[in-house]
Amino acid sequence: MGTAEQVGHYTRLQPFVEIMDSTLRDGEQTNGVSFLPHEKLIIARMLLHDLNVDRIEVASARVSEGEKEAVSMICRYAEKIDKLDNVEVLGFVDGGVSVDWIVSCGAKVINLLAKGSLRHCREQLGKSPEEHVEDICREVKYARSKGLIVNLYLEDWSNGMKDSPEYVYQAMDVLCDIGIRRFMLPDTLGIMNPLQCIEYFRKMLKRYPDTHFDFHAHNDYDLAVSNSLAAALSGAKGLHVTVNGLGERCGNAPLSSVQVILKDQFHAKTNINENKLNDISRLVESYSGIAIAPNQPIIGDNVFTQVAGVHADGDNKNGLYQNELMPERFGRRREYALGKNSGKANIAKNLEELGLELTPEQTKKVTQRITELGDKKEIVTQDDLPFIVSDVLKHDAPEDKVKLVSYVVSTAYGLKPGANVKVEINGQQYEAGATGDGQYDAFVKALRFIYRKYLDRTFPLLQNYAVSIPPGGRTDALVQTVITWNDNGKILRTRGLDADQTEAAIKATFKMLNIYENENTNEL
């Protein structure tokens, strides 16, 4: 059933759709994915307790002892929270072997796998439709005698409806009267489109109007979500999903996408706690080793990140660039990317979140620096921002007396690193080359040669050299280099920030040289 919603002068029925998650069974058929028993238990607990999924399919019968241990653990947990009937196990028409396996695990629901197309029945089983239906009836009777609730998959149902609908009806005419709770209709090979889905479901419901039908989508044509919505629009009472769309070949319908489309586009009711969708996705990503695409709707890293400055500005003006998919709804928050495309509005949003207050002139300098850095790396993160602010505001010399004109550093196997440097000191240009123990060491040696030969003096000695990146450990993070200099007992620290470590160190060096040059000029 559903609840009523008043819309103008009309009352619209909001249908209720059951969500059955098959991550632990069908999702585990993803190439390279195998969950340990304790991982299955943790995922099942989050699905049932935190996310509030209606049902979970946790395994295939008879697979292994490890699978049996996992199912038993999940069943013990589900019984404690009074949700044992929500845990389902795939079983086979195998003369009661699957039924006994499932009962021994403590489970109460079998999802029996039968053939939903004439081709599968004849060519895979080598049986006539009558023989297969008779075998199914015998299996269902035995399962019910053992106290199991029986749901039935009609495997390859989509091809059955396309190529042999008379076979589907022949089987259903018998099976719908033997005590099966749910009939689960899979698009096993992912061949359907939404129009076909609507057509086939309406035919099934017209012929069997009081039957509970689930739909189980596969994503071979990237239509799993669309087909799931079409099935719900046509009267399916349950939809099968997996976390992050895991599954064989191209996967299944992703839980997060199906949920939001049901709610926002179809106005359906479900029991899902949406603010836990991101948590379950990250947990399954970690255990499966299958990374979530950054642009995956709802759960991808980038989906709540505004890049263009005009979008951030629009968000400040009555949410002009926002829709119903608000990040807080899913336990997330909107972010404003920093880079060459970000404007003052993006930067202001990030500064506000960090509690940093800058003058318009300071904000302009920070914006210019971010644009410059954005040309060198894909994105500047919010974690980078305090480093950038410090770099721009604390170490801006009023006028650079020492300027880097150009440089080349090189390294090659079997040869010492080298550097060629051209600098401008008080309006005069000098050039020198040197080798060293590293690229930066060679650079500094070339500078010292210039100071000794052309200026007859030197500059402070390097005492300590520290490199750090902003939190997060990203491989493309900005590098901050802090160098401690000793000038006859006087300590000076300068820092440089760049996407390249050597360049960050060079910037820190030139900040020191300008401070040193200004002090010497003032003393004169």
Task: Give me the active site residues, please.
Answer: 25, 155
The answer to whether the beta carbons of residues 345 and 316 sit under 8 Å apart is yes
CA distances from 341 to 4, 24, 70, 437 (A): 46, 42, 49, 39
405 phi, psi to nearest 5 deg: -85, -50
One-letter amino acid of 48: L
8-state DSSP, 293? P
What is the rounded distance in angstroms from the CA atom of residue 26 to the CA atom of residue 35? 12
What is the rounded distance in angstroms from the CA atom of residue 123 to the CA atom of residue 106? 34
CA distances from 227 to 15, 193, 232, 297, 344 (A): 17, 6, 9, 17, 43
The answer to whether the beta carbons of residues 98 and 146 sit under 8 Å apart is no
CA distances from 254 to 53, 284, 380 (A): 13, 12, 30
3-class DSSP assignment, residue 321: coil
8-state DSSP, 292? P
One-letter amino acid of 1: M
Q: Taking the C-alpha atoms of 323, 325, 327 and 330 in order, what is their torsion angle to the nearest 10 degrees?
A: 160
3-class DSSP assignment, residue 236: coil
CA distances from 269 to 17, 87, 480 (A): 6, 21, 50
